[in-house]
Structure 1
């Protein structure tokens, strides 16, 4: 009986010592579980906050991109409107010179002449605008002759553009209009020819008429490829 009591006492004491050692060593199952759960909860909160920040960053980036695209569209539209306004102002000024009152009398005028390269070798596109200061009912009719002065092989030379059509044909410039008319075409210059100026001769149809002449200098290198 005494032996049995001793065994029970020893066993109980051993378990108490073992449990005390676990506590002293910091091993507490309940505390460890609470700590694990707390850390998992913290991780979840941080992950949620991180996802929220990522969404906000993506939203800001999209908004910034949209703002840049909208600004670019507005700027492009403004540039287009400004160009259109400038073109309209130029056309308005032209029409005023054509149909408006003119103190210098009436008759045909060489409004402008432009010639510019086409990108092909020695080939140029020209545009001649004839206008009428005052209209007397009948259409203005006649022919135009374009003469180009320059040099070739060190000697002065004059070319009639009527025989220099880019398509190999002839340039026949005839006009008939009430207020104004544009005459356009392409010419190909011979090799080695260096142009200096273009003489425009306008010959109205009729008995008592005279030839209108106006000279346009050829643009220098680096200048706008138009004269007039």
Structure 2
């Protein structure tokens, strides 16, 4: 009885120890799995955060790329505009150089008639005039034109002052600034002025040539003759008498 009791008591102890061992193993196993699961959850949360950061970075990158595209387009537009303005500036400089060559040498304020032609068309004479003045830094020239015709009346040579039928005056560029007045022959310019207009042919006379006079305060400052020619046929371009 004693030996069996001891054996049973030993078996019970062994069984108890085995249960304790199994319980401990189970506790350790589930504890380890809970730790790994938490680590997996933490890693997943970190991955989600990184994905959100990547999406935000991509959005910012797309916005910056859009701004860069706009700035590049603006830059190209500005470069094109600058190129056109430089070309226009070059043309303006060429025109300025050309008209500066037309300015006659001589004392400051000297006026010259650079071109003058006159053409007959019906009962009218159409004229074109280009005037220049050597006047750097001076005030504008103020005067007027007078057209004196060499004519024949009743077989006798006479001089006749021609009157205006209509007249148009226009500056060739921004440098010239002619004034506008009641007198169609009035002149107001600094360096050069182009003028066109129409003269009335008086009846009963035969005009051979016309003398252009540029007056300042009644004093003749420049003069030039032009022979009257018939108007060019329609479609052709009349030239300017040098």
Q: Which has the larger radius of gyration?
A: 2
TM-score, with structure 1 as normaliser: 0.46
TM-score, with structure 2 as normaliser: 0.44
RCO (CA 8 Å, sep 6+): is it higher in 1 or 2?
Answer: 2
